[in-house]
Structure 1
Amino acid sequence: MSRLVTVAHGTRVVAGNQIAADLTAQASALLGIPATTSYVELCSPLVADVLASSPVPTVVVPLLLSTGFHVKVDIPEALRGSRGPAALTRPLGPDPVLAAVQKRRLLAAGARPGGPVVMVAAGSNDPDAVPDLALAQRHLAAVWGGPVLVATVSGAGRSVEDAVAEASLYGDVAVSTYLLSPGFFSRKVATLATDAGARWVSEVLGADPAIAALVADRYREAVSALRIAA
Structure 2
Amino acid sequence: MSDPRLVLVAHGTRNPAGVEVIAALADAVAPHVGPVRVAFVDVLGPTPSEVLRDVDGPVVVVPAFLASGYHVHADVPREIAESGHDDVHVTRALGPDLDLARVLRDRLEQIGWTTGDRVVLAAAGSSDVRALDDVHTAADQLAAVTGSAVTVAYVATGEPRAADLVPTLKATGEKVFVASYLLAPGLFHTRLQSAGADGVTEPLGLHGGVVQLLVDRYREGVDVISAAAARSRRERPESGRQ
Same fold (TM over 0.5): yes
SS of the residue aligned with 1:90?
coil
State whether residues 23 and 208 of structure 1, in contact with CA within 8 Å, keep that contact through their aligned partners in structure 2.
no
- Structure 2 unaligned runs (5+)? 230-242
- Residues 182 and 92 (structure 1 numbering): CA distance in 2 closer, same or farther, change over 3 Å? same
Pairing 1:189–2:192 present: yes
Pairing 1:132–2:131 present: no
Distance 1:41 1:8 in 2: 8
Q: Which residue of 2 aligns with 1:171?
A: 174
Once the two structures are TM-superposed, the CA of residue 165 in structure 1 deviates from its matched residue by: 4.3
Distance 1:82 1:223 in 2: 20
Distance 1:114 1:79 in 2: 45
Distance 1:174 1:183 in 2: 19
SS of the residue aligned with 2:7?
strand
- Structure 1 unaligned runs (5+)? none
State whether residues 155 and 163 of structure 2, in contact with CA within 8 Å, keep that contact through their aligned partners in structure 1.
no
Residue among 12, 17, 20 paired with 1:18: 20
Q: CA RMSD in A?
A: 1.7
Q: Which residue of 1 aligns with 2:222?
A: 223
Q: Encode CA deviations 1:147-168: one digit per residue, 9 max, x unaligned.
A: 1100011223322144324543
Distance 1:170 1:86 in 2: 52
State whether residues 102 and 176 of structure 1, in contact with CA within 8 Å, keep that contact through their aligned partners in structure 2.
yes
Q: Which residue of 1 aligns with 2:104?
A: 102
State whether residues 113 and 146 of structure 1, in contact with CA within 8 Å, keep that contact through their aligned partners in structure 2.
yes
State whether residues 101 and 205 of structure 1, in contact with CA within 8 Å, keep that contact through their aligned partners in structure 2.
yes
Instruction: State the TM-score, normalized to the length of structure 1.
Output: 0.90
Distance 2:164 2:186 in 1: 23
Structure number with the bigger relative contact order (C-alpha 8 A, sep ≥ 6) is: 1
Q: Which residue of 2 aligns with 1:82?
A: 83
- Residues 161 and 185 (structure 1 numbering): CA distance in 2 closer, same or farther, change over 3 Å? closer
- Residues 170 and 98 (structure 1 numbering): CA distance in 2 closer, same or farther, change over 3 Å? farther
Identity %: 38
Q: Residue type of the partner of 1:126?
A: D
Q: Residue type of the partner of 1:209?
A: G
Distance 2:31 2:173 in 1: 44
Residue among 103, 118, 122 paired with 2:124: 122
Who wins on radius of gyration, i.e. which is larger? 2
